[in-house]
Amino acid sequence: MPADQEQLRQVWSRFATGVTVITTLDAQDRVHGMTANALCSVSLDPPLALLLVAQERATHTLVARRRSFGINILAEHQREAAVYYAQGLKDGPLPDGVRFRFTPQGTAVLEGCLGYLDCQVVAEHKAGDHTLFIAEVLEAGASQGQPLVYYRSSYGKWEGG
């Protein structure tokens, strides 16, 4: 018998992770974002990343259609961006300090993030209520700073060295 969903939420909430905003463009070429931590590096040669997105999310439809997305690793000062993009549909203005630049491929990169990956989907696989998107990394960049972390359903600062 499979584990209970609430029990799984409790267990997974104890896994501290970094926080990212996944970016893609909507049908009007506006930036669409989603806060996520369900991703990982797959391979350095070739450079591949994996992203998991719930099939009912707007981000799923957009990534499946566009075949591209950005991964923006958030710095500790970007909590407002994480909260904003965790909220689903966005009708209001962006929080203060949330600005984007665009890669040559047209992927939105959140200014001030610790690192970004510009990704092009090369494969997708359905897994339960999610889809695993495997993407080739076309461009990457890193900067200095401290990460925003997520633990037990709360954002916090990394206290390491």
Write out pLDDT tens, residues 16-50. 999 999 999 999 999 999 999 999 999 999 999 99
Give mean pLDDT, residues 44-64. Answer: 96
DSSP string covering 17-80, please?
EE-EEEEEE-TTS-EEEEEE--EEEEEETTEEEEEEEETTSHHHHHHHHH-EEEEEEPBGGGHH
Neighbours of 155 (CB within 10 A): 18
Residue 153 has pLDDT above 80, yes or no: yes
Question: What pLDDT digit, counting tens, does each position of 105-122 carry?
Answer: 999 999 999 999 999 999
Neighbours of 31 (CB within 10 A): 20
108 pairs with which residues across the strands? 102
Helices (H), the chain: 5-12, 58-66, 79-85
Closest CA to 86 of 74, 104, 103: 74
Give percent of the chain above pLDDT 70. 96
| Dist CA 14 CA 24 (whole Å) | 29
**pTM: predicted TM-score of the whole model, two decimal places:** 0.93
Domain ranges of the chain: 5-157
- Write down the pLDDT at residue 90: 62
- Domain 5-157: give its CATH code: 2.30.110.10
| Dist CA 95 CA 19 (whole Å) | 17
Residue 89 has pLDDT above 60, yes or no: no
pLDDT band for position 160 (cuts 50, 70, 90): confident
Average pLDDT over the chain reads 93
DSSP class of 89: S
pLDDT band for position 3 (cuts 50, 70, 90): confident
